[in-house]
Amino acid sequence: MKIEARLFEVLTVFFFGASIIYGISSGLSSKNVEWVGVTGMVMTGGLTLIIGTYFRFVARRVDIRPEDYEEAEVEDGAGELGFFSPGSWWPIAMAASAALIGVAMATTNFWLVAVGAVAIIATVGGLVMEYHVGPEKH
């Protein structure tokens, strides 16, 4: 996880630096600073800072992975990575619910946003509980 943390920390520095340069250059080229771009880049830097900080905290708690040391071979990462459901339809339903919210927001149908939010909650619950209920339960 140290590599991922370092990647997002570098991105954080880049976005904050780019927002400063963008603010200065847009202020010099026109009458005033173009604040939408500066705000967007600062917020992007903040998001990468949050993700990088999370990865840094997680890196302290997990064992060293093959990706974290230089002398690792490809076969060091072999083995089971986790359980992934091969035939789950819930991700498609979640994507459809998210698309419904997007279309509802684009067309300013706020009642449909509420329907989409309920659909998102239901589909996420279905995905999480997929192997805890029904005939697949052990």
4 contact partners, CB below 8 Å, separation of at least 6:
55, 59
Lowest mean pLDDT among 95-99, 123-127, 131-135: 131-135
The SS3 assignment for 87 reads: coil
Q: Tell me, what DSSP letter sits at residue 134?
A: S
Q: What is the mean pLDDT of residues 5-16?
A: 96
The pTM of the full predicted model, rounded to 2 decimals, is 0.58
In which band, very low, low, confident or very high, does the pLDDT at 136 lie, cut at 50, 70 and 90? low
Taking the CA atoms of residue 15, residue 20, residue 26 and residue 28 in that order, the dihedral angle to the nearest 10 degrees is -160
Q: How far apart are CA 78 and CA 130, in angstroms?
A: 27
Alpha helices, DSSP H, located in the chain: 2-29, 35-61, 90-106, 110-128
